[in-house]
Amino acid sequence: MKQLAVSYARTLPGLDTHGLMHGLDGVQLTFMPMGDRDGAFDPEHNVILINSRVRPERQRFTLAHEISHALLLGDDDLLSDLHDSFEGDRLEQVIETLCNVGAAALLMPEELLSDLLARFGPTGRALGELARRADVSASTALYALAERTAAPVLYAVCALTRAGADDDEPHAGPPNGAGTGAPKILTVRVAGGAPGVKYTLRPGTPIPDDHPVAVALDTRLPISQASYVPFRSGRRMPAQVDAFPDRQRVLVSFLLPDRPGPT
């Protein structure tokens, strides 16, 4: 699937909306309200539908995902292998996963990932630059960067949130929750580790007020210093923390020691 997406991307004039659609002859793109659905590809009518009421970054990834559906359906060998190996709900799950892989390969090519890691290292700054340059959500950029990172690194997107929030983007409004009836707290919204990293940060994990991530948000200044991973259980693992503030969130990398041990 990744090879299909990379080959398709090489034929495109650009990675904007019209550029992404350039290689799909006869396929129409339509934006419309779709309720809880982000998008769909209808091969019978040759149309890709995108939910007009979701964030632009989400629309962009959904478009790349639906293009990947079209590429997969056009590859008889891959499609045959999938039907030989899976069936029913499991087949649908595998196809959706593959289309996510294809979407990531379309929007975040290896050349871009390699360039950012070479320039900034596995840092919060690299995560922020990837999200900006690829025009994708921070969570999408996080998973792509984590997969490409060789060092033992945990990445996280942290933001001021209220209980019950379930996406990785901070909500608009005063930082202290003024006018909402409840203060906001700084928590982990999404996290993921490089291959081989067995530790993870659960969404909703609070960030202590004196942690470098909290300080970076308060001061709006990037911070890189020796600190720790603040697990939800209260355990602390030593790590080199790189915190990059971006609007009402902080993009973070935790570089773990070779043989980390929580305290």
Is-contact 231 262, C-beta < 8 A? yes
Structure tokens given for 240 = 């080199």
CA dist., res. 251 & res. 239, Å (int): 15
- Rounded Cα gap, residues 171 and 169, in angstroms: 6
Distance CA 46, CA 21 (A): 12
Of the residues 57, 66, 129, 169, only one is catalytic, namely 66
Active site residue 66: yes
DSSP for 85-135?
Answer: H--HHHHHHHHHHHHHHHHHHHHS-HHHHHHHHHHH-SSHHHHHHHHHHHT
Judge contact between 104 and 140, C-beta under 8 A: yes
Sign of the four-CA dihedral 112, 118, 119, 124: positive
- Give catalytic residue positions: 66
